[in-house]
Amino acid sequence: MRRSDVHMPTRHPTYGDLPAQVHGLAVRFGLRGLEQRHSSTVVVGAYVLLNSAISIGVLAGIAAVTKQPFVFPSLGPTAFLLFYAALATQAAPRNVFCGHLIGVLAGYLALVVFGLTTTPPNLSDITAPRIGAVTLSLCLTLSFMVWLNVPHAPAGATTLIVGLGLLRTPAQLGILMIAVVLLIAQGIAINRLAMIPYPWWAPLAPTRPSQ
């Protein structure tokens, strides 16, 4: 069956693009029973379980081998967007990469401004400089995502991770961005394998409703 012959289901009102991914994978591998039940709660839930296990398992495995922070909290919501809303603007590779990059740069700049680049985190004793750092980092991140037209909500969590000092060295921040790239690569691989027209970089242009 040619890709052009496959009729992909419309976006599900509850599960977003997930049923379309299940359907596409079922068609790709000739799983007729799965293809017919692509919108079943049990099937979609099982797909999310397996896919999320692969997503975090790969990064956690790399982290365990390298002893580097390849797993950090804001990757969770990014992974959710890549699969639940694959065709949304915020899930496009450009927005995912640039959003997290802005968060990293804004967070590190805030640490420099308030002299916290060598200060370890202490969440039970938030000092005035730390308040300034998290405030500046978040304000810059959200503003620049709007100014540069690369919105990606999980980047707000990334910049707070940096602003709080949980990850603060250039080496750690470089590892953080490598982890983002690896997650984007998985998003491209899974969505394309499922025959979802997931973009390679920029968000897809919005389609106009027919007159």
70-95 confidence digits (pLDDT tens): 999 999 999 999 999 999 999 999 99
Cβ within 8 Å of residue 97, ≥6 positions away: 177, 180, 181, 184
The answer to the question of residue 125 being in a domain is yes
Cβ within 8 Å of residue 17, ≥6 positions away: 11, 83, 84, 85, 86, 87, 196
pLDDT for the residue 206: 67
The answer to the question of residue 207 being in a domain is no
Evaluated on CA atoms 23, 27, 30, 35, the torsion sign reads positive
Strand partners, 16: 12
Q: What percent of the chain has pLDDT over 70?
A: 94
The answer to the question of residue 42 being in a domain is yes
The answer to the question of residue 198 being in a domain is no
Q: Is the pLDDT of residue 33 over 90?
A: no
Average pLDDT of the segment spanning 159-168: 97
Average pLDDT of the segment spanning 107-124: 96
The answer to the question of residue 4 being in a domain is no
pLDDT for the residue 121: 94
Q: Work out how many domains the chain is built from and give that number.
A: 1
- Angle at which helix 18-28 crosses helix 75-84, to 10 degrees, equals 70
Coil, strand or helix: which one is 143?
helix
The answer to the question of residue 55 being in a domain is yes
CA 135/CA 147 separation, integer angstroms:
18
The answer to the question of residue 209 being in a domain is no
- Which range of residues forms the domain containing residue 129? 10-193
pLDDT for the residue 142: 98
The answer to the question of residue 186 being in a domain is yes
pLDDT for the residue 4: 46
pLDDT digits 0-9 by tens, 39-50: 899 999 999 999
pTM for the complete prediction? Answer: 0.92
